[in-house]
Amino acid sequence: MAGFGLVLWSLCSFIGFQEAKPDIHSDFKDQSGSLIDLYKHLHANPELSLQEFQTAKRMAKELSELGFEVHEKIGGTGVVGILRNGTGPTILVRTDMDALPVLENTGLPYASKVSARIDSGLVSPVMHACGHDVHMTCWVGTARLLVKTKSKWSGTLFFVAQPAEEIGVGARAMLEDGLFKRFPKPDYCLALHCDPTKESGSIAVCEGPAFANVDSVDITVKGKGGHGAFPHNTVDPIVLSAKIIMDLQTLVSRETNPLDPAVVTVGSIHGGTKHNIIPGEVKLQLTIRSMRDEVRENLLKGIERLSKSAADGARAPEPMITLRKNEFTPALNNDPKLTRELINHWEALLGKEKVKIREPLMGGEDFSRYGREGIPACMFFLGTVPKKNLEEKNAQLPSLHSEFYKPDAPVCIETGTIAMTSAVLNLFGKKR
């Protein structure tokens, strides 16, 4: 009888363990219809950076209905939701909310018809062309699934709906408004981002560096204007600008270690008014990308040095060089230990074939600022392209920020929600 009792106890323990393990896939199916409805609503009603008023209200409403302690207007339109459920880690899950000044051309029945005023004062069409509507839907789905399985985990949820990711100021604004002082500092930070090059139903992850440092620099090249027929009486800032632009290319090709990624791009040149007038100045706008902080510092110093030396050689006034510090986005580095643990977890959950290792990109992502507060952080990437589209010969896939970008919403929302929910549950099970 003693042996039978031991077997019975073991069986009951096994059954209890099986019941204690959440069935995320089944739980998602109960939410899938309403989450797709939410996605369509968000897609049809985009709002620009720092104008996410109705979007923020909807995110706050979703969390409030789930029992979160909700705080609004953090760093502008940011939303924070806190849900305490016993002792354990505090886990931050972040979504971004803002859309882009893009005229949608997807042909979707729920395509955006919204327009809004941009910084220049002009009115522009607005579209969720970067997948932030998918991000928000997965964020809400994750919150719902975690609340539904409250009896299976212990700890604190820290949900953040962040404004102004597209202009790189939202994370900083929320941190400066006391994000980690007014609320519990998290033990881990998680986020996801759409990937328009990967199959829907899959995820991709970078171990270590994922996104670049991003800087914006303005250069006003000064000269001495005059008649185009008498250039010898002028100091031509257009010719000088051309020299500066070419000299700047040597910062990458000749002054940066070839193994260190770096980009110096002049994206805008404005100068002059008429064919036969040499202007007094030319304005340049640059974007600077780097993975390492030391490389970033050398590039910025080099821009100043080469611009001033070119002006000196042309006997021109010293150019005015402005680093737009408010637009700086630091490089995103996924914590290697945390990321490797999550990769192993996702491979077991989704299958190894559905979890890809992704190369870092020279784009920017201000989720990096949370990790720079000394918190292990990981952003993973969500495939959004149907398999048949990827397999088309000479397929031209719309990129992020494209007027044609159209995620495979039902599949990628399910994958994103399940992957994020399971990651949080896995971290709640960790011993700190």
Secondary-structure breakdown of the chain: helix, strand, coil percentages, each rounded to the nearest 5:
40, 25, 35
Which ranges of 276-408 would DSSP assign to H, the alpha helix? Answer: 293-313, 336-350, 368-371, 387-391
Question: What residue spans define the domains of the chain?
Answer: 22-211+331-428, 213-327
- Nearest Cα to Cα of residue 384 among 199, 206, 203: 199
Q: How far apart are CA 164 and CA 390, in angstroms?
A: 31
Residue type, 36: I
Residue type, 392: E
Tell me: the pLDDT tens digits for 296-316? 999 999 999 999 999 999 999
C-alpha distances in Å from residue 29, one per residue of 113, 147, 216: 30, 15, 44
CATH architecture designation of domain 213-327 = 2-Layer Sandwich (3.30)
CB 111: neighbour CB atoms within 10 A? 15
Contact 101, 48 (CB under 8 A): yes
At residue 176's C-alpha, the angle toward residues 139 and 141, to 5°, is 5
Q: And the tokens for 220?
A: 């006003």
Q: How far apart are CA 151 and CA 298, in angstroms?
A: 52
Question: In sequence order, which residues have a C-beta less than 8 Å from that of residue 57 and are 6 or more positions away?
Answer: 72
Each residue's pLDDT tens digit in the chain (432 positions)? Answer: 444 343 333 333 333 333 345 688 888 998 999 999 999 999 999 999 999 999 999 999 999 999 999 999 999 999 999 999 999 999 999 999 999 999 999 999 999 999 999 988 999 999 999 999 999 999 999 999 999 999 999 999 999 999 999 999 999 999 999 999 999 999 999 999 999 999 999 999 999 999 999 999 999 999 999 999 999 999 999 999 999 999 999 999 999 999 999 999 999 999 999 999 999 999 999 999 999 999 999 999 999 999 999 999 999 999 999 999 999 999 999 999 999 999 999 999 999 999 999 999 999 999 999 999 999 999 999 999 999 999 887 778 999 999 999 999 999 999 999 999 999 999 998 644
List Cβ<8 Å contacts ≥24 apart for 103-107.
103/127, 103/403, 104/129, 104/403, 105/403, 105/404, 106/403, 106/404, 106/405, 106/406
Question: In sequence order, which residues have a C-beta less than 8 Å from that of residue 409 and are 6 or more positions away?
Answer: 36, 39, 134, 137
**DSSP assignments along 66-122, one per residue:** TT-EEEEEETTTEEEEEEEESSS-EEEEEEE---BS----S--TT----EEE-TTS-
DSSP annotation of 204 reads E
Answering whether pTM is above 0.75, one says yes
Tell me: the pLDDT tens digits for 250-300? 999 999 999 999 999 999 999 999 999 999 999 999 999 999 999 999 999
CB 3: neighbour CB atoms within 10 A? 7
Is the CA virtual torsion 341, 342, 343, 344 positive or negative?
A: positive
Domain 22-211+331-428: top CATH class: alpha beta
Place of tokens 């099986």: 18
